[in-house]
Chain A
Amino acid sequence: SQKIEQNSEALNIQEGKTATLTCNYTNYSPAYLQWYRQDPGRGPVFLLLIRENEKEKRKERLKVTFDTTLKQSLFHITASQPADSATYLCAPPSAGNNRKLIWGLGTSLGVNP
């Protein structure tokens, strides 16, 4: 069955560095993938969507890549700030029913000043 895996361990980096988060998927090929940010006690907030025919997408300090050969999406935050500390979730559509998203467990990012 389809599976989404994100770095299970928290990532801690120094302010100003680039954070790179990984999302791997197995057993299917999604047509697109969404990335969300979730702060403690709050609902997820949409950040970026990347389609299978797009290798890279950018929005301000955020960049997402989508490698359909490796079955992997990378999420980068450049010039990281303490305010970027949150959990980041990747969410491709469910195989066979694209009305639903499949949610990864998320990777917790901590940016230290």
Chain B
Amino acid sequence: NAGVTQTPKFRILKIGQSMTLQCTQDMNHNYMYWYRQDPGMGLKLIYYSVGAGITDKGEVPNGYNVSRSTTEDFPLRLELAAPSQTSVYFCASSPGTGGTQYFGPGTRLLVL
């Protein structure tokens, strides 16, 4: 039982490039989340999903896209990377409303 896994661990992107951050959970959780955390700052919700085929925007969705075709996977797509997207990205999953959120190890992204 690996929990929530994220790849890659670290990536450097050039301005304007695109990439997909991968997130997979093996706990059969319906809810999944993407957060970003800037240095010394709190977690900000980018997108979340309450089940396969259902996604919704969080606080800071601009510049990102998500899809949820399976219960296990919730990839986050960055189109046209900008320096403002330099951050640590965390994926989390939860069994449902009011449930504990289980976090992945994070992806550190640097956009230069």
Interface residues of chain A, those whose CB is within 8 Å of chain B, are 31-32, 34, 36, 41-46, 49, 89, 91, 93, 98-101, 103-106
- In chain B, residues 45-93, which have Cβ atoms closer than 8 Å to a Cβ of chain A? 45, 48, 50, 58, 88, 90, 92
* A99, B31: Cβ atoms closer than 8 Å: yes
Given A99-B31, A99-B97, A105-B42, the answer on whether A43 and B104 have CB atoms closer than 8 Å is yes
Q: Which 6 A-B pairs have the closest CB atoms?
A: A43-B103, A46-B100, A103-B43, A105-B42, A43-B90, A103-B42
What is the size, in residues, of chain B's interface with A at 8 Å between Cβ atoms?
22
Contacts of A36 in B (CB 8 A): 101
B2 close to chain A: CB less than 8 A: no
Contacts of B97 in A (CB 8 A): 93, 98-99
Given A99-B48, A100-B58, the answer on whether A46 and B42 have CB atoms closer than 8 Å is no
* B48, A41: Cβ atoms closer than 8 Å: no
* A105, B41: Cβ atoms closer than 8 Å: yes
Given A98-B98, A100-B45, the answer on whether A45 and B103 have CB atoms closer than 8 Å is yes
Contacts of A31 in B (CB 8 A): 98
Besides A43-B4, A45-B103, A93-B97, 14 other A-B contacts (C-beta < 8 A): A31-B98, A32-B98, A34-B101, A41-B106, A43-B90, A43-B103, A43-B106, A46-B100, A93-B98, A99-B50, A100-B33, A100-B58, A105-B41, A105-B42
How many angstroms from the CA of A32 to the CA of B99 in the assembled complex? 11
Contacts of B102 in A (CB 8 A): 46
How many angstroms from the CA of A36 to the CA of B88 in the assembled complex? 18
Contact of B100 among A41, A42, A49, A106 (CB under 8 A): A49
How many angstroms from the CA of A42 to the CA of B3 in the assembled complex? 14
CB nearest to B4 among chain A residues: A43
CB nearest to B58 among chain A residues: A100
B105 close to chain A: CB less than 8 A: yes
